[in-house]
Amino acid sequence: MINAKIDLVLGTFRLKAEIHDSGAICVSGANGSGKTTLLRAIAGEIKPDSGDVRVNSRNVTNLPPERREIVLVTPDSMIPHLQVEKHLVWGASTKGKRVEEVELAEVKATLGISYGGRVDRLSLGMRERVSLATALLSVPKVILVDEAFANIDHREDFVRSFFGLCHARSIDVVHSTQVESDAALSDHHYSITGGETARIS
Amino acid sequence: MNWLKVLAFIPLGLLVAPVIALLYLGFGPMISSAGYSPLVLRSVVLTLFASAITVLAEILLFTPLSYYLARSRNSLAETLADVPASIPHPIVGIALVVIDSPLTPVGRFLISIGVNFFNTILGLVAALTIVSAPIFIKSMQPYFESMDRAPEEFALGLGASRLRTFLSVVLPNSFRGLVGASLIALSRAMSEFGSIAIVAYVILSAPFGLAGASPASVTIFNFYDAGDLNAAVTASAVLVAVSLPLMVALRIVKGRT
């Protein structure tokens, strides 16, 4: 369950956003509407002027990104020099978690990761699959996806599978998109315009 | 007519002129056998050896600081890191001599555990490390500042600590920056004089048959001070003839990474 109330001013841009939901949450909006700013604020990359962020009733507002159990995945997210296999389990191993062979195989199959090699040499779509899988396997409380489904082919199938895997691990997902129809794949839908959110469902 | 090029290359010529003059005079009209004697050659080896150790020490000691400065806006720490570059070099030498002397409690303690800076390789490397640290940091910090933050942010989001992120994500992708900073620090160390003329004027005990050698810059100064200009010029030419190709070679290596 995410309870985020963010109020911040960045230059001439004012963000006034609220999200109170759990499950797969879609935030749709046009370019420049504040999607990325919102996600970065929830992740802790940007400090809001006022408001707070609670994850499963735990107040993370004053915690740095590495202590929030919130992973922000963008199209640039990766650990460049690692091979795919090592990359997938890296998040989990930093937390001291072991990923069982069975689980790793299941996630790879579900998310269509059948390749190896250095992550920074993969195509964008292949890399995004790996980064999302890495985030999933580290079992945070929340995964924020900032348009990181953008370059993945067979998107709908992938997004559905990804949400299914997150749901099974009680991970809330907030994903930003410019495509309104993505909301149909999610449990909840917010739209954001000029920095203000409105809950649609 | 590309006047920008003209404006750029005339001063460049001025920079290079003294070195060319030295090479010409030192191996030509002013050549002196004292200038390429075993004494001089051992000095050059000592300088290379000590400078190389210095660079390794700096990578170990100052890379974390450079990264920290690049990610936090700690202007006090930044200023402090620049201190050795803002004071005359002999002062660094004097400080090391005094710190390690029986005159102070710290010195008496250091001597008792066998740490001796005066006329030792340890003192030589200590002085070189201190005086070339600021330029190492000045090179490494902007490199870290210009790095793509996405991998670091991703690692932190996954729960990695700042140290773990530095060691496992940032460092493995910093090879180019480290080579560049090492090059600059190496040239700085090899060209040092003021601090080592005080704390390590001559090295009393050293490996590789270097005992009794002085750093190259000190040897060259000695010739000049004693009035043997030819020897000073020849020895200078020898040092240049060794260090310049080294720098060029390292630059090529850097360009290939």
Measured at the CA of A74, the angle between CA A130 and CA A141, to 5 degrees, comes to: 80
| B151:A79 CB<8 A | yes
| B151:A77 CB<8 A | yes
| B172:A69 CB<8 A | no
- Binned at pLDDT 50, 70 and 90, residue B70 comes out as very high
> A103: domain CATH number?
3.40.50.300
Amino acid at A56: N
| A81:B159 CB<8 A | no
Measured at the CA of A99, the angle between CA A96 and CA A100, to 5 degrees, comes to: 140
Query: Rg for chain B (alpha carbons), in Å?
Result: 21
CB A146 within 8 A of CB A36: yes
CATH code of the domain made up of B42-214: 1.10.3720.10
| A76:B173 CB<8 A | no
pLDDT at B103: 87
CB A178 within 8 A of CB A169: no
d(CA A122, CA A77): 13
Q: Is B164 on the interface with A (CB under 8 A)?
A: yes
pLDDT at B125: 96
pLDDT at B58: 97
Report chain A residues whose CB lies below 8 A from the CB of B148.
Answer: 76
d(CA B134, CA B142): 13
- Binned at pLDDT 50, 70 and 90, residue B132 comes out as very high
CB A72 within 8 A of CB A135: no
What is the span of the domain harbouring residue A110?
2-199
pLDDT one-digit tens code per residue, B192-245: 999 999 999 999 988 888 889 999 999 999 999 999 999 999 999 999 999 988
pLDDT at B209: 82
| B156:A65 CB<8 A | yes
Q: Measure in Å the smallest separation between the Cα of A22 and chain B Cα atoms.
A: 19
Interface test with A, best of B148, B154, B162, B169 (most A CBs within 10 A): B154
Structural domain total, chain A: 1
Taking CA–CA distances from B154, the nearest residue in chain A reads A77
| B173:A134 CB<8 A | no
Q: How far is CA B10 from CA B13, B14, B15, in A?
A: 5, 7, 9
DSSP string, chain A: -EEEEEEEEETTEEEEEEEEE-SEEEEE--TTSSHHHHHHHHHTSS--SEEEEEETTEE-TTS-GGGTTEEEE-TT---TTSBHHHHHHHHHHHTTPPPPHHHHHHHHHHTT----SBGGGS-HHHHHHHHHHHHHHT--SEEEEESTTTT-SSHHHHHHHHHHHHHHTT-EEEEEES-GGGGGGSSEEEEEETTEEEE--
- Binned at pLDDT 50, 70 and 90, residue A178 comes out as confident
pLDDT at B211: 87
Which backbone phi and psi does A169 adopt, to 5 degrees? -105, 10
Q: Is B250 on the interface with A (CB under 8 A)?
A: no
d(CA B143, CA B42): 36
Q: What is the value of pTM for the model shown? A: 0.89
Q: Is B73 on the interface with A (CB under 8 A)?
A: no
pLDDT one-digit tens code per residue, A7-32: 999 888 999 999 999 999 999 998 88
